[in-house]
Amino acid sequence: SAVISQKPSRDICQRGTSLTIQCQVDSQVTMMFWYRQQPGQSLTLIATANQGSEATYESGFVIDKFPISRPNLTFSTLTVSNMSPEDSSIYLCSVEDPRAEAFFGQGTRLTVV
Amino acid sequence: DAKTTQPTSMDCAEGRAANLPCNHSTISGNEYVYWYRQIHSQGPQYIIHGLKNNETNEMASLIITEDRKSSTLILPHATLRDTAVYYCIVRNSGYSTLTFGKGTMLLVSP
């Protein structure tokens, strides 16, 4: 299993500002995943982050809005840029082990006012 | 789009077995059935997965029909802490992405 730590756990931000969310894993992993969970909704994949290459974004998500860094095999960041109230969501980091079992962080609860 | 269909919600009495159904009629031969759950205010938690044989672990049992078009997750003795949203997901093995549907909200009551 993998232990994932996300920071911050929650934040309240002003519209127009940006927030960077950090994800730290206790083991080296090839791919890390970032999800968004809007209020009352299921999880939606934002992007897949590979170490040493640019992240791969899902339809509806763009790098300018959600830039991702992956500097090494245990760490990644997701930035939510130029925030609006519609960005209020829980953002979750995830990794998978070789048996394709996914592990998730506790999430970052973002409120944009 | 999610490739599975689940009931929106289910109730279960504490101590009884909870049987959560999932339809995946378009599943292909190399796709596995995965189950995750999400307890309120937490990230999703892996429960179990299988290809065609029934599987059991310390958390649950997974029963997959012979034609693989549906499956049932069984929590043999539900507790209040099993109250959560349960997601049934069909995916290829390896590093393909997870597509979450709406899941089943299981409420375990005293």
Beta-carbon separation of A104 and B45 below 8 A: yes
Task: Name which of B43, B46, B103 is nearest A101 (Cβ-Cβ).
Answer: B46
C-alpha span between B71 and B53 (Å, rounded):
11
**Biggest alpha carbon distance in chain A?**
41
The C-alpha atoms of residue A20 and residue B16 are separated, in whole angstroms, by: 44
Cβ contact, residue pair B36, A100, below 8 Å: no
Closest residue, chain A, to B97 (C-alpha)? A45
Query: Using one digit for the tens of pLDDT, what is the confidence trace for B55-70?
Result: 999 999 999 999 999 9
Among candidates B28, B18, B4, which has minimal Cα distance to B93? B28
Helix (H, G, I), strand (E, B) or coil at B39: coil
Q: How many CA atoms lie within 13 A of A98 on its CB side?
A: 2
pLDDT (0 to 100) of residue B24: 95
For residue A14 the two structure tokens come to 């002003």
At B94 the pLDDT is 60
The first and second tokens of residue A69, run together, are 């860094």
Residues of A in contact with B103 (CB under 8 A): 42
Say yes or no for a CB contact (<8 Å) between A100 and B94: yes
- For residue B97, the distance in angstroms to the closest alpha carbon of chain A comes to 8
Q: Return the higher-pLDDT residue of B8 and A1.
A: B8
Q: Which amino acid is at A86?
A: E
Q: What are phi and psi of A40, to 5 degrees?
A: 75, 10
Q: A101 and B32 in contact by Cβ < 8 A?
A: no
| Residues A96, B95: C-beta atoms closer than 8 Å | yes
Answer yes or no: is pLDDT of A100 > 80. Answer: no
Bond before A8 cis per omega within 30 degrees = yes
Position A53 scores a pLDDT of 84
Angle of CA points A109, A111, B1, to nearest 5°: 65
Instruction: Name the nearest CA neighbour of B52 among B41, B68, B71, B37.
Output: B68
